[in-house]
Amino acid sequence: MSCPSTHTPPTASADVPDILVNGVPISADDIAREVQYHPASSPQEGIHKAAEALVIRTLLLQRAKQTVADESDGLSEEALITALLEREAPAEYPDGEECKRYFDNHRDSFRSPDLLQISHILIAAAPDDEPARQKARRTALELLTQLRQAPERFEILAREYSACPSRETGGNLGQISRGQTTPEFEQQVFAMEEGLADKPLESRYGVHVVQVDRKIDGKPLPFEQVHDQVSAYLAEVRQRMAINRYLHQLIDEAEIEGIELGEPLIQ
């Protein structure tokens, strides 16, 4: 699902093209409404992405109304497009041999998750409040000094200093795997070995004193356990390629004015 971006909609200074798709116009207002769903580095890039998406959608709806509308009365536009693609660019599932070959070539991708049992003390400070960050760093360094001398005091200090709800359990966060914490915190803690961090770690929430109580490395998974995952992935790749081929076919057969479509059409 696409989320609206924070980019400013096109203004009069941006060049909004006049576009026709098989004689059907795509208005500047349509493009202005669509552009928020296409993050870009410049207003003009956002406009082009939005216009391209609307051209593709228009082509698909035009073809859907020609080929599947009679058998899909009452369907929404999204459902019409889905029905069209299921018929014209269906998913092709790979055979077992192809799945095994992909698995053998990407074994490092199929492992059980790495796990960490960690505890932390959060000294809260907003990322844009530098005086508070500096104070938090000093406090964290003081706590590290205390813990190096008396590591058994971690729970006591967590209950006293931590701004995280985990202070109620002495700072214990339990077992975490990748994707469960903020990216900047995750990158740092998964690079640690067992024991107390040698320096404070920083995140958007503040400064952390971290202790890795246990580190459990992921293990290779057997092919039988991931066969369905591999099959679904390869089928998705094939379907995206099939949809791209189908869109190019529609484009080749269409009369499109006002825009040059890029590659690939489906990300």
CATH code: domain of residue 146: 3.10.50.40
d(CA 38, CA 6): 10
CB count in 10 Å sphere of residue 158: 24
Domain encompassing residue 147: 115-216
**Other residues' Cβ atoms within 10 Å of the Cβ of residue 27:** 12
The answer on 232 and 207 residing in a single domain is no
Give yes or no: residues 103 and 15 share one domain.
yes
Task: Check which CATH number belongs to the domain holding 234 and give it.
Answer: 1.10.4030.10
Do 205 and 231 belong together in one domain?
no
Tell me the C-alpha distance between 105 and 248, whole Å: 31
Per the structure, the count of domains in the chain is 2
Say if residue 79 is in the same domain as residue 143.
no
Cβ-contact 197, 211 below 8 angstroms: yes
Gap between the Cα atoms of 2 and 153, Å rounded: 47
The model carries a pTM of 0.60
Per-residue pLDDT tens listing for the chain (267 residues): 334 444 444 444 457 778 999 999 999 899 999 999 999 899 889 998 999 999 999 999 999 988 876 665 677 888 889 989 988 988 788 999 999 999 999 998 999 999 999 999 999 999 999 999 999 999 999 999 999 999 999 999 999 999 999 999 999 999 999 999 999 999 999 999 999 999 999 999 999 999 999 999 899 999 999 999 999 999 999 999 999 999 999 999 999 998 888 765 565
- Last-in-domain residue among 216, 241, 256: 216
